[in-house]
Structure 1
Amino acid sequence: MLSLVTLVCASCLLLGAQGQDRAAMWRGNDRSGRCQYTFTVSSPTEASCPTQAGGPELEALKSRLSLLEVMVTRLTGGQTGPVDQQQGLQESYSEAMGEKAELQKEKDRLDRLVQELQRRLEESRQEAERLRSRPCIQGSSQQQDSGLRPGGGSSVLSHLLPSGQSSSLRDPSWHYGVPGYQELKAEVTEVPVPTTAGIEDSTGCGELVAIGEPMTHRKADTIAGKYGVWMQDPEAAAPYGPSMAWRIDTVGSEVRQLFGYEDMEQLARGYPTKVLLLPEAVESTGATMYRGSLYYQRRRSRTLLRYDLSTESIAARRDLPHAGFHGQFPYSWGGYTDIDLAVDEQGLWAIYSTNKAKGAIVIAQLDPHSLEVLKTWETNIRKVTVANAFMICGRLYTVASYAAAETFISYTFDTATKQGKTLSVPLKNKYRYNSMIDYNPVQRKLLAWDNYHIVSYDVRLGRQQQRA
């Protein structure tokens, strides 16, 4: 077929060049059996060949034949070249498809690996949740407590959270895994618990001798309620009565919401009747309520604020002289609990420390109207070695452990005699992470916040004795 096409093309070329239809073609085998083609073209000008050597026409014919051979060679080469290229492309395509199949296998293997890692991660998360919800077994009250590892919660109280509260969990101020925030236990000498003989249950202002079982009133449902402070005003003022309960969730970097409940039943049900937005953020769990005002420490400062509930505004502010703040002298559980405000039968107090006191607890009695410091006392117990503290009848009491299930009141300091001594009054941390304890002098109860739980304790005081 190729030869025929070649011959046709050559014939057309010769005929076109001559412009006449006088060409003849002969094909036959030579002696060696090879095919030969012979073309005969009549000369338009000569009747016969004048010489043996030929003339210009013969030379022109040779040139045309040479051109024809070149064209045939090119056509033959053009036929085989694309075939080789096609074969090369086919081989490359086959290799590419093989590589694609290998890559797909590798992708499937990596997908299975990712799924396995995700499954293990989910199992680890569930195990962490189980460990977080499981009480830690404490060998004794002297055992080292672990750092904070916050857990999640449901969204039942999500409508009570301040705007943007969820993002505050990334705040490094609430990560207490570092050793500096681990509990350092006070070295105390245990003494026998006094007997109840001669104890006055509801009158007098003697020394603390017994603390009742914890009563749980409410469990917070979100991480914002891991730590907090709750209060009842012992000398409530209009427009709120003495049965009003107040709560502040203190997990976060911008704590400003104060929730009010008309009574303890409403607190237990979790439906606030009043929500106030404080003009300045709260630092930690040291707030207290007294005579119609909320007293608290402004965030990242030693400034004390009195927030008037009736006018819903700041009524007084004052720096607590030389007081450490924002992690200088906290309680052993951390939480930036450098300044702890308290109320008892004798009025408003601040529990803190200074550089001059070298970390020892300093007690200051404050003017509840102006926040002026009326008098101070320096104790001989370091603030970081105790888990918490409160005031009863002008006496300071410290808690040995915030996480041990069975702990005790380890130390007391009497502001009247300026004397301190060790104690061993049992106290139960039912939920094993007590971040706030305050005293209500009217109800004769301790109010506490223990690992999401709002709890209270009845207290018993000994017979009042003459104090110098």
Structure 2
Amino acid sequence: MGPCCCLLLLPLLAGAQQQQFMEYVERRLALLEERIAQWHDQSSRYSTELRDFKNQVLGMLETAEKEREALRAEAEGAAARVDRLEREVDYLETQNPAPPCVEVDEVLVEKQAATAKQRKNEKYNKLTDCSDTIASVRAMKILKRFGSSAGLWTKDAAGSSEKIYVFDGTANDTVFVFPRMREFTLFSATRRAARIKLPYPWVGTGHLVYGGFLYYIRQQGPFQVIKFDLANKTVVDSSVFPAEEQIPVFGLSPFTYIELAADEEGLWAIYATKENEKNICLAKLDPDSLDIEQMWDTPCPRENAEGAFVVCGALHVAYNTRLPSRSRVQCVFDVSGTLPPEEASLVYFPKRYGSHSSMKYSPRERQVYAWDDGYQIIYRMEMKKKLEV
């Protein structure tokens, strides 16, 4: 009933009833005012929250727009850098010489072999006055365990660089390069290493870094010595090793057919052939042309041999047993004839984990970098004069 009807009925009602009716109307009006006030409060609150949410969304949109602009600028910068890098690579490719032909020239190989055989077992004219020989192993240091059970690690045998070169395994095409020994000894070593992908896969553990070049044995086809320029990352020369029917040079390392070595005299190749399959052969190489200057048949047997290196023109062969025990150098062949084999010191290496898969002598540091069942080891040598042995 509306307010107008209520006023018309007032004269008809008794005084008490009128009073009750008025109280009822006032309560209803008070309740209605209270609900209107609640609605007003809720409406104000919702309006404030909506305004705050709108401001928040506008701020987020503004931030997203700024981030989008930053990402666009970074993408444009990256595209510019990629474009510049592609131009630089194109320029370098035009500056680097084309890789030499590494096809086998049979006539040239036969000529090299004939020339080398003419000088086979002749007396060697030394290039230096080096007259030292190994007296004993002064100290042994185990650096770490890295990579496969067989491999090779070394420094540049003819330079002052502190870089470490690592050949993991016996057949691959990628070489790890660490700037210093410290980076190599870190736990997560491969993260600190550069990688050199070679144009041809390598085989065995007889490779060598010498004078800024990597000399390695190519995996496929006849045994080729590849000369790789580490600065330009290009092949600068190659040569087929002129030895017929080659066999593994070490009885305990069947994966190595040619062991390249360096000493104070220069570059050497240690190998074996079916013609003289019981003993190890030695050849002097020209590091510039890869020609064989001279060859020798040594009295050092292949059986139970696990590695070898050259010191001052003398071949040192390390032996072991098929059940690993102590390695020892028990055969020394001096190409100059100044150190008779019977007068050479019998050198023992400390007992190890397994068998040496590679042993690289550093003439600058007078120590051997060895790989023993995945462990990288340094042997520091005690030297003596040959005449004092």
Q: TM-score, normalised by structure 2?
A: 0.61
> Using the alignment, how far apart are the partners of 1:391 and 1:400 within structure 2?
15
**2:185 matched residue in structure 1:** 268
- Residue 344 (structure 1) shift: 0.5
Partner SS state of residue 368, structure 2: strand
> Using the alignment, how far apart are the partners of 2:370 and 2:245 within structure 1?
24
Q: Please, what is the CA RMSD of the aligned residues? A: 2.3
**1:428 matched residue in structure 2:** 350
AA paired with 1:282? W
Query: Mapping of 1:48-67 within 5 angstroms?
Result: none
**1:456 matched residue in structure 2:** 378
Structure 2 counterpart of 1:444, from 361, 366, 369: 366
The answer to whether the 8 Å contact 1:228/1:249 transfers is yes
> Using the alignment, how far apart are the partners of 2:245 and 2:184 within structure 1?
33
- Residue 360 (structure 1) shift: 1.8
> Using the alignment, how far apart are the partners of 1:217 and 1:244 within structure 2?
15
> Using the alignment, how far apart are the partners of 2:245 and 2:350 within structure 1?
29
**2:331 matched residue in structure 1:** 411
- Residue 445 (structure 1) shift: 0.4
Deviates more, 1:349-358 or 1:288-297: 349-358
Any unmatched runs of 5+ in structure 1?
1-202
> Using the alignment, how far apart are the partners of 1:232 and 1:281 within structure 2?
20
Q: Would you say 1:314 and 2:240 are equivalent positions? A: no
Change in Cα spacing, 1:431 to 1:213, as seen in structure 2 (3 Å) is farther
- Residue 463 (structure 1) shift: 2.1
**1:233 matched residue in structure 2:** 156
Q: Would you say 1:394 and 2:313 are equivalent positions? A: yes
Query: Mapping of 1:116-195 within 5 angstroms?
Result: none
Query: Mapping of 1:7-18 within 5 angstroms?
Result: none
Q: Deviations over 1:150-183 (max 9, x none)?
A: xxxxxxxxxxxxxxxxxxxxxxxxxxxxxxxxxx
Structure 1 counterpart of 2:280, from 361, 364, 367: 361
Higher share in helix: 2
Change in Cα spacing, 1:367 to 1:429, as seen in structure 2 (3 Å) is farther
AA paired with 1:307? F
Q: Would you say 1:206 and 2:124 are equivalent positions? A: no
Q: Deviations over 1:130-149 (max 9, x none)?
A: xxxxxxxxxxxxxxxxxxxx
Any unmatched runs of 5+ in structure 2?
1-128
> Using the alignment, how far apart are the partners of 1:431 and 1:265 within structure 2?
23
**1:292 matched residue in structure 2:** 212
Q: Would you say 1:304 and 2:225 are equivalent positions? A: yes
**1:32 matched residue in structure 2:** none
Change in Cα spacing, 1:380 to 1:234, as seen in structure 2 (3 Å) is closer
Change in Cα spacing, 1:359 to 1:311, as seen in structure 2 (3 Å) is farther
**1:280 matched residue in structure 2:** 200
> Using the alignment, how far apart are the partners of 2:152 and 2:142 within structure 1?
14
Q: Would you say 1:344 and 2:259 are equivalent positions? A: no
AA paired with 2:177? G
> Using the alignment, how far apart are the partners of 1:304 and 1:454 within structure 2?
25
- Residue 406 (structure 1) shift: 2.2
AA paired with 2:239? R
AA paired with 2:235? I
Change in Cα spacing, 1:373 to 1:272, as seen in structure 2 (3 Å) is farther
Q: Deviations over 1:416-465 (max 9, x none)?
A: 01854475211124222211111000010011001111111100111243
Q: Deviations over 1:232-254 (max 9, x none)?
A: 01323xxxx611111011245xx
Q: Deviations over 1:308-339 (max 9, x none)?
A: 101111111111111544xx233122332121
The answer to whether the 8 Å contact 2:299/2:333 transfers is no
**Higher relative contact order (CA closer than 8 Å, sequence separation 6+):** 2
AA paired with 2:364? V
Change in Cα spacing, 1:242 to 1:416, as seen in structure 2 (3 Å) is same
The answer to whether the 8 Å contact 2:130/2:264 transfers is no
> Using the alignment, how far apart are the partners of 1:449 and 1:358 within structure 2?
26
Counting aligned pairs with the same residue, the percent is 23
> Using the alignment, how far apart are the partners of 2:341 and 2:297 within structure 1?
10
Q: TM-score, normalised by structure 1?
A: 0.51
Partner SS state of residue 375, structure 1: strand
Partner SS state of residue 266, structure 1: helix
Show structure 1 runs of 4+ deviating over 4 A: none
> Using the alignment, how far apart are the partners of 1:356 and 1:445 within structure 2?
33
Change in Cα spacing, 1:369 to 1:204, as seen in structure 2 (3 Å) is closer
The answer to whether the 8 Å contact 1:405/1:428 transfers is no
Structure 2 counterpart of 1:382, from 277, 293, 301: 301
> Using the alignment, how far apart are the partners of 1:466 and 1:429 within structure 2?
28
**1:333 matched residue in structure 2:** 252
The answer to whether the 8 Å contact 1:410/1:424 transfers is yes
> Using the alignment, how far apart are the partners of 2:304 and 2:376 within structure 1?
24
> Using the alignment, how far apart are the partners of 2:316 and 2:360 within structure 1?
10
* Alignment coverage as a number of residue pairs: 254
AA paired with 1:233? D
AA paired with 1:397? H
